[in-house]
Structure 1
């Protein structure tokens, strides 16, 4: 039997973390929408709506993401804020080695990631090596909250989920960092693999290669079909991804994250009506 708690009004929070969305869907990108779909399968009833309200009203005081764990402090109706933890098993080095090898085999993936974009079919890369980028359901997650609600994921956990989805909108590398590889680590690995592959190919090209005289007839012809690719769209805040890290934060929020909305706003002012 479900426990019942009388309606209570959460204590107001000054400068809490607020969801940008005021109505409708919170997630904007496809990878964030996938995460919200998981939330909707594990949080039911009024908790989902109340969690969304908590996220939009700024009841989440702070939130921190690391490899395999998200921790947050959420203000409810009691004086002491509740502590929320959402765990997801990170991939180990061997797993990430397989993922990096699969990514580097296709330069299109690397180009997208370097541009700050999540390739639409990146899930297929993880699936091909036997991994799942996104949690499939509650069995893939561990969730804890210090609130007295004993009946599964509560509204405080739901609020953190919604803010996580928005953080994925801002930076698609956040979901990868939760799985155990941050932006610099992943792109560094891809760069090393590409450099190593290029050197091997260079060595092979001098061993038993045909002479120039023997291949003049086909030298300037295509050696393979040229794949059709759409142009890569660079996000407005790409410069923040390339700039050196600055160890400055305001009320627990990194300086880059505070500047990100301004770059998006500037980009919108230049759009053609």
Structure 2
């Protein structure tokens, strides 16, 4: 049988659905739990809730702490490692689980791309709590099926328990390991998130205006024909926003396409501001404000390799995290410099509009909101009064203080909140 072989000297093909991890150093969370993240603890709870013998779990946890679990290999539906026991030869141990079906992945991708903070969290190796609702993503009791080459028929044996506890450490460090266990590789997921984010951005972008009639420069400057030319047309109306630059394809002999895009975007934005105000919008900005402005001028939410690098480099230069930058970018896109100030500054507004906001919300049949300084907070929605007199909407997962800017600011708190609720 003829088989196609890779060319001699060719780089090995990357398998996005198979990852191997060196021996993981054990570490318990400060509160005594073996995992530090909520999804890592969900994995541990699924193991412990289904275990038939707590003593085997305790021995398995001790094995994990003493480093008895060798390198771990993860493929869809399977986690495999050699675990050292009382005999010289280690045992081959594995944990099997169901992979997520196409409908489940559709639900996951829809939820992940619904809000920019979800995308930013995933890029920062965090899993938003709202993704917990995706059926079949997190393991349930009985969902993890252990198997081991040792003679112990416990469910699980101490070797399988040790592997489970160490796998929780992998999940803490990289949630994409959980997604691989459920059937999708990291690059595969990032590519699909990028595609959906680009489609969403394209759908929200207004249609381009028709091309403007032009006159060849040679004709316009020809003295023989100038007298016969019609008068110049009236200046075009100022656009609502600066235009987007052309797409710069990568070329080894040319500058970095992202740098070219940033330069062109910067020139368009500053020219637009000069036309409208006659002022330089950059001169008075702090380095952090300017970094946020630069990132906000770039389309997307940091999903492609170039924009992930941009977010990472800008955040690192100012001792911030990519999530800090993504949140600030959302605020800038919501209200510019004032929107960023609303995100970062709490202040005490004078009596007046703020005091009238709560009765107005109650009269509109909306839930009661807790006041604190210039903020009114509910379980998952929040309003912030800016110094410009506008109300800015924020959203968080229920009962979590993880607020992200959303919607458009407005002078009426009821209208702003209705916009968040889609009413």
TM-score grouping bracket, smaller chain normalisation: 0.5 to 0.7
2:394 to 222, 227, 247: 227
The 3 A distance-change label for structure 1 pair 51 and 117 is same
Q: Which of these two proteins has the greater Rg computed from alpha carbons? A: 2
Equivalent residue runs for 1:82-231 within 5 Å: 82-124=91-133, 126=134, 131-138=135-142, 140-202=143-205, 226-228=393-395, 230=402
Deviates most, 75-84 or 17-26: 17-26
Determine if the alignment matches structure 1 residue 38 to structure 2 residue 205: no
Determine if the alignment matches structure 1 residue 20 to structure 2 residue 27: yes
Determine if the alignment matches structure 1 residue 65 to structure 2 residue 74: yes
Please give the alpha-carbon distance, in whole angstroms, between the structure 1 residues aligned to 2:144 and 2:29.
Answer: 27
Please give the alpha-carbon distance, in whole angstroms, between the structure 1 residues aligned to 2:167 and 2:57.
Answer: 14
Q: Secondary structure at the match of 2:202?
A: helix
What's the TM-score once normalised by structure 2's chain length?
0.43
The 3 A distance-change label for structure 1 pair 104 and 224 is farther
Offset at residue 77 of structure 1 (A): 1.4
Offset at residue 185 of structure 1 (A): 2.1
Deviations along 1:125-149, one digit per CA (max 9) or x if unpaired, are x1xxxx22212111x2322111111
The 3 A distance-change label for structure 1 pair 225 and 170 is same
Please give the alpha-carbon distance, in whole angstroms, between the structure 2 residues aligned to 1:165 and 1:65.
Answer: 12
8 Å contact kept, 2:111–2:131? no
Please give the alpha-carbon distance, in whole angstroms, between the structure 2 residues aligned to 1:22 and 1:29.
Answer: 9
8 Å contact kept, 1:62–1:74? no
8 Å contact kept, 1:18–1:59? no
Q: CA RMSD in A?
A: 3.2
Deviations along 1:58-101, one digit per CA (max 9) or x if unpaired, are 11122111111101101111222111111111123443233212
Q: Secondary structure at the match of 2:169?
A: helix
Deviations along 1:169-220, one digit per CA (max 9) or x if unpaired, are 11122112211223322222111111112223336687xxxxx99x9xxxx9
Please give the alpha-carbon distance, in whole angstroms, between the structure 2 residues aligned to 1:94 and 1:121.
Answer: 17
Q: Report the count of equivalent residues.
A: 203
8 Å contact kept, 2:68–2:84? yes
Offset at residue 120 of structure 1 (A): 2.4
Please give the alpha-carbon distance, in whole angstroms, between the structure 1 residues aligned to 2:29 and 2:45.
Answer: 19
Offset at residue 25 of structure 1 (A): 2.2
Q: Which residue of 2 aligns with 1:53?
A: 62
Please give the alpha-carbon distance, in whole angstroms, between the structure 1 residues aligned to 2:25 and 2:126.
Answer: 24
Q: Which residue of 1 aligns with 2:90?
A: 81
Q: Secondary structure at the match of 2:94?
A: strand
Q: Secondary structure at the match of 1:153?
A: coil
Please give the alpha-carbon distance, in whole angstroms, between the structure 1 residues aligned to 2:121 and 2:70.
Answer: 33
Structure 1 segments unaligned to the other structure (5+ residues): 1-14, 207-211, 233-273
8 Å contact kept, 2:42–2:139? no
